[in-house]
């Protein structure tokens, strides 16, 4: 499985290592030509304004948004989730699309802008996932077609899936627990088995 990792800024190396541990072939993606022949793509955490700007400058935003719309499986974490969201703090910004959500950036404020917590994520198994939040966003609102994968005890949504796109507010690549990457790779395998005409839900 050839899995692209958007490698412009942020935690892309850690994602590539996690994918490699699971037997996938990570491909660093910077330019539109790097998108050829991918089975899925990871958009990492980092700084969403920088990633969005560099994707625009490198001509990657449009071609990648088209692939997302046509059903390419995406694992979008933290800043990656922000650039895949329909709205950011209520504003529609140019992005990858794929998640009909409104996200709030830096939702946990400055004092507690990084924290770790054991988070139930039923879709990946019974044991909570040790989730590392770094200046993380939350999902303020989601359209009905968006499935909620995880919420904090106070009800705030921090992981979602809409068809081929998984959005995670925390950093699954920074822990040894690889269940979120496995969940993503299962989606890639499933999508590879359906005819391409059925890809666009």
Q: Segment 148-187, which members bind ligand GLN (CB under 6 A)?
A: none
Catalytic residue, chosen from 14, 15, 78, 181, is 78
Which of 160/191 has CB closer to ligand GLN? 160
User: Is residue 48 near ligand GLN by the rule CB under 6 A?
Assistant: yes
Is residue 91 among the annotated active site residues?
no
Structure tokens given for 91: 């504003």
Which of 47/178 has CB closer to ligand GLN? 47
Total chain residues near ligand GLN (CB under 6 A): 11
Q: Which span sits near ligand GLN by CB under 6 A: 56-64, 77-85, 121-129, 189-197?
A: 77-85
* Cα separation, 96 vs 1, whole angstroms: 22
Q: Count helices and strands (H / E) in the chain.
A: 5, 12
Other C-beta atoms within 10 Å of 201: how many? Answer: 9
* Cα separation, 33 vs 16, whole angstroms: 19
**Whole-number Cα distances in Å, 88 to 101, 107, 154, 155:** 8, 11, 21, 19
Q: Segment 84-143, which members bind ligand GLN (CB under 6 A)?
A: 105-106, 134-135
Q: Using CB under 6 A as the criterion, which residues of the chain lie in contact with ligand GLN when the complex forms?
A: 45-48, 78-79, 82, 105-106, 134-135
């Amino acid at each position: 499985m050839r899995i692209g990792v958007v490698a412009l800024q942020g935690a892309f190396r850690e994602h590539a290592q996690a994918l490699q541990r699971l037997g996938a072939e990570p491909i660093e993606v910077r330019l539109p030509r790097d998108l050829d022949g991918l089975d899925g793509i990871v958009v990492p955490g980092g700084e969403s304004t920088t990633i969005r700007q560099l994707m625009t400058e490198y001509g990657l935003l449009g071609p990648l948004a088209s692939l997302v719309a046509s059903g390419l499986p995406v694992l979008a974490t933290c800043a990656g989730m922000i650039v895949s969201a329909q709205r950011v703090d209520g504003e529609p910004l140019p992005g990858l699309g794929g998640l009909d959500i409104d996200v709030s950036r830096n939702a946990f404020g400055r004092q507690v802008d990084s924290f770790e917590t054991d988070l139930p994520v039923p879709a990946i198994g019974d044991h909570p996932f040790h989730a590392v939040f770094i200046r993380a966003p939350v999902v303020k609102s989601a359209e009905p077609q968006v499935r909620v994968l995880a919420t904090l005890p106070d009800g705030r949504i921090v992981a979602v899936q809409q068809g081929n796109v998984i959005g995670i507010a925390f950093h699954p690549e920074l822990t040894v627990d690889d269940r979120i990457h496995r969940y993503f790779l299962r989606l890639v395998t499933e999508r590879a088995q359906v005819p391409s005409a059925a890809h666009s839900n």
